[in-house]
């Protein structure tokens, strides 16, 4: 029986909540999507700019679905940040097409509107729907602006983004800022200031889970082996890495077993300028301060620890299935 059918059955049996993934499909996004197809009830893919232009992200989502023989609907969202210019595309990391320049693209880039789909789905599933965001937070911020009820409609939002300097990992764009947040800090600030039930998975955690060339070579999935070659090369050439980080896949891993992640509950904010532009922040100490910039802000779950062996074992075992 095909894996997708098994996954759909398992989802029914476990009464998994429906999941939407919001993505700027680069290589680790594609790994996250494949992992979600095999383990979660993925009902739709909303695209945004980031690693690639939004048009290319739509093509990548369609190419991935076509390759795996699934028909999840694909939607097109923001093509730029709320109020800034987009950062340069990540072609030196993910290839010009975002998928390691390995895939051919007969697909076109037309797709219905992502932000309306997010809002309609949130109303449709009221309290049941989970969202993973693995690109800049522009689509979610736009949805929040249009639909103030969103925090009470979504079950949970798992965000790959940010860096807090623990485990030796600061930002990957500046010493302070991570790519998804720095692409649209204003959108990220709007999301972190909201009462969404959210879990933030920053570089502190995602950089710890590295997949080696040998582990990739053992995957039976030729598509994943093909698209990861360029990305793996980037990590190995940059030095200091034993393999490639699959940042975005950890949002799906968290859904598969939140027990693998250590979280703290804390208010969060984003620096909106200066040398720390795009840095994600939490209160550093316990002293009572006269000017509390976190006063009145909601608390969120922030992951700062991960059981690397368990996360890797489940991810690799699942991806090896086909």
Interface ranges with ligand BDR (CB under 6 A): 26, 28-29, 51, 90, 134-135, 160, 172, 178-180, 247-248
CB-wise, 153 or 176, nearer to ligand BDR?
176
Applying the rule CB under 5 A, the residues between 239 and 278 that interact with Ca ion are 248
CB-wise, 11 or 132, nearer to ligand BDR?
132
**What is the nearest approach in angstroms of ligand BDR to the Cβ of residue 90?**
5
CA distance 30 to 98: 9
Residue 227 near residue 63, CB atoms below 8 Å: no
CB-wise, 33 or 153, nearer to Ca ion?
33
Indicate which residues carry an active-site annotation: 247
**What is the nearest approach in angstroms of ligand BDR to the Cβ of residue 178?**
5
User: Does residue 90 belong to the site contacting Ca ion (CB under 5 A)?
Assistant: no
Applying the rule CB under 5 A, the residues between 6 and 45 that interact with Ca ion are 29
The binder of Ca ion chosen from 134, 203, 255, 303 (CB under 5 A):
134
Nearest residue to ligand BDR, by Cβ distance, number only: 179
Kindly write down the DSSP assignment for every residue of 248-292, as one continuous string. THHHHHHHH-GGGEEEEEEE-EE--SGGGTTBEE--------SS-
User: Does residue 100 belong to the site contacting Ca ion (CB under 5 A)?
Assistant: no
How many CB atoms are located within 10 Å of the residue 24 CB? 32
179 touches which of Ca ion, ligand BDR, none (CB within 5 to 8 A by kind)?
Answer: ligand BDR
**What is the nearest approach in angstroms of Ca ion to the Cβ of residue 197?**
21
Strand partners, 258: none
CB-wise, 109 or 206, nearer to ligand BDR?
206
Q: At what angle are helices 308-319 and 249-256 packed, to 10 degrees?
A: 100
**What is the nearest approach in angstroms of ligand BDR to the Cβ of residue 210?**
13
- In the chain, alpha helices (H): 3-14, 27-39, 54-68, 91-94, 114-125, 138-146, 150-153, 179-183, 185-192, 203-206, 213-217, 222-238, 249-256, 308-319
Applying the rule CB under 5 A, the residues between 145 and 204 that interact with Ca ion are none
User: Does residue 63 belong to the site contacting Ca ion (CB under 5 A)?
Assistant: no
301 touches which of Ca ion, ligand BDR, none (CB within 5 to 8 A by kind)?
Answer: none
CA nearest neighbour of 188 among 249, 142, 251, 156 = 142
**What is the nearest approach in angstroms of ligand BDR to the Cβ of residue 131?**
15
CB-wise, 21 or 160, nearer to ligand BDR?
160
Q: What is the dihedral of CA 77, 223, 227, 41, to 10 degrees?
A: 40
Stretch in the footprint of Ca ion (CB under 5 A) among 71-79, 97-105, 129-137, 298-306: 129-137
Quickly tell me which residue has 């995957």 as its tokens. 219
């Amino acid at each position: 029986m095909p894996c997708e059918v098994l996954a759909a059955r398992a989802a029914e049996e476990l009464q998994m909540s429906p999941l939407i993934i919001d993505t700027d499909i680069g290589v680790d996004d594609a790994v996250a999507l494949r992992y979600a197809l095999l383990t979660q009830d993925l009902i739709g893919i909303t695209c945004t700019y980031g690693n690639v232009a939004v048009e290319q992200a739509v093509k990548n989502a369609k190419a991935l679905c076509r390759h795996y023989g699934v028909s999840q609907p694909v939607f097109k969202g923001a093509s730029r940040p709320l109020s800034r210019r987009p950062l340069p595309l990540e072609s030196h990391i993910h290839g010009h097409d975002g998928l390691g320049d390995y895939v051919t693209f007969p697909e076109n880039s037309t797709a219905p509107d992502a932000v309306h789909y997010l809002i309609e789905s949130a109303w449709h599933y009221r309290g049941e729907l989970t969202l993973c965001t693995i690109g800049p937070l522009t689509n979610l911020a736009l949805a929040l602006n249009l639909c103030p009820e969103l925090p009470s409609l979504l079950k949970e939002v798992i965000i790959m983004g940010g860096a807090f300097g623990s485990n030796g990992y600061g930002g990957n764009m500046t010493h302070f800022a991570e790519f998804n947040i720095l692409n649209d800090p204003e959108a990220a600030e709007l999301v972190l200031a909201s009462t969404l039930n959210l879990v933030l998975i920053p570089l502190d955690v995602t950089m710890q889970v590295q997949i080696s060339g040998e582990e990739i070579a053992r995957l039976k999935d030729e598509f994943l082996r093909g698209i990861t070659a360029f990305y793996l090369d980037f990590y190995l050439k940059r030095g200091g890495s034993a393999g490639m980080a699959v940042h975005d896949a950890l949002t799906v891993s968290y859904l598969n077993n939140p027990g693998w992640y250590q979280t703290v509950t804390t208010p969060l904010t984003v620096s909106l300028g200066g040398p720390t532009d795009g840095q994600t922040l939490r209160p550093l100490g316990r002293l009572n301060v006269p000017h509390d910039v976190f006063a009145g802000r909601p608390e969120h779950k922030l992951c700062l620890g991960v059981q690397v062996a368990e996360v890797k074992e489940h991810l690799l075992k699942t991806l090896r299935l086909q």
